[in-house]
Structure 1
Amino acid sequence: MDYEAIFWDIGGVILDLQSVRAGHRAFVESLADEHDLGTERALETWREELGTHFTTREGTEFRSARVGYHRAVAAMVGHEIPEEKWLPAFERATRESLEPVDETVEAIRRLDGHLHQGVLSDIDTWEGERLLSQFGVADHLDAVTTSEEVGRTKPDPAMFETALDKADVDPARALMVGDRYTNDMEGASRAGVHSVAFGGSASEADSDDPAVTYRIASPTEILDIVGVRG
């Protein structure tokens, strides 16, 4: 297959998810220390508030993580705190903790110039752009499509349609690399895009599942799939 575009998810594909948890914990610990709160209770409140924020949305509607963070901060300390008071600390703590999936960074850099590369992620635009810049891959990407931009989350067809429009390619000539079965594999398959399962729930699909086109253990295997050498 002569592929002309590849779409990368961020969480679990470009961004190491364990480092996300570490970054959030570092931020909550700093806030708990500043406001004389119990760290474990603060962490529990943070997780509960964010969980409620995202799980109570309707269908594939977009909900801003930034709004969720703001609500979680207020729940932890017991009152509203202006964003300008907590956001710098959040960005500092996560910047120092977040780590990329190194093999994905390598693959993105090596694929630069060979085909259209886009990001297709359920993330706030500001956070996605910050991560891509921090990991040194922003300049190797041709487009970024976020749920904040589209107003929906995967597997909503609008997400894939937006990314395909930016790439100006036929769905059958595109690949979606993701770690979530329903959002990435099924979503891509329904849009006519070939899917690549990497980790997470995507890797747990049956070996003959038609929603999964390829399975990889390392993102650098993408180079062989699209026929890029060296």
Structure 2
Amino acid sequence: MLTDTGILSYNWHSEDEVPFDDCEETLRTLSDKGYQLGIIANQNPGAKDRLDAWGLGRYFSVIASSAELGISKPDKEIFRLALAMADCRPENAVMVGDRLDNDIRPANAHVR
């Protein structure tokens, strides 16, 4: 679709991403052990809908999506906001990420 600025935006399609085969089993195990799970993601709108379509949304109490919040990683504010949404203190949180620059370094200021 063409935006006001004349820039073509990307429309996400489900075939572009798929969860790992053991994803649901891993999330179920963590959830069954009492862990509160959340996501901080630089995503297009609809992250919750995509998770629900895969049957994974029920495992997450917080979804901090850059498209919905208007801030993105590595801005430390998105980490602070996600912790507040989860009513979680930084010392009680663990960040798992796939990028050192975008996930791990910024989170280090707020989580272990």
Assess same fold via TM > 0.5.
yes
Bigger radius of gyration among the two: 1
Cα 1:157–1:103 shift into 2, 3 Å: same
Deviation at 1:96, TM superposition (A): 4.2
Distance 1:177 1:165, change over 3 A: same
Q: TM-score, normalised by structure 2?
A: 0.80
- TM-score normalised to the size of structure 1? 0.42
CA displacement at 1:105 relative to structure 2:
2.5
Matched, 1:129 2:48: yes
AA aligned to 1:193 is: V
Distance 2:19 2:105 in 1: 25
Amino acid paired to 1:133: D
**Structure 1: gaps (5+ residues):** 1-52, 54-66, 70-89, 195-230
Amino-acid identity (%) = 30
Q: CA deviation at 1:158?
A: 1.2
List alignment gaps of at least 5 residues for structure 2.
Answer: 1-6
Which structure has more relative contact order (CA 8 Å, sep 6+)? It is 1
Structure in which a larger fraction of residues adopt helix: 1
Q: How many aligned positions are there?
A: 105
Shift of 1:174: 0.3
Partner of 1:68: 9
* Aligned: 1:188 with 2:107: yes
Runs of 4+ with deviation above 3 angstroms = none
Deviations 1:121-162 (A, max 9, x none): 001231x12320122110121111111222111111111011
| Matches of 2:86 and 2:17, distance apart in 1 | 29
SS for the counterpart of 2:94 is strand
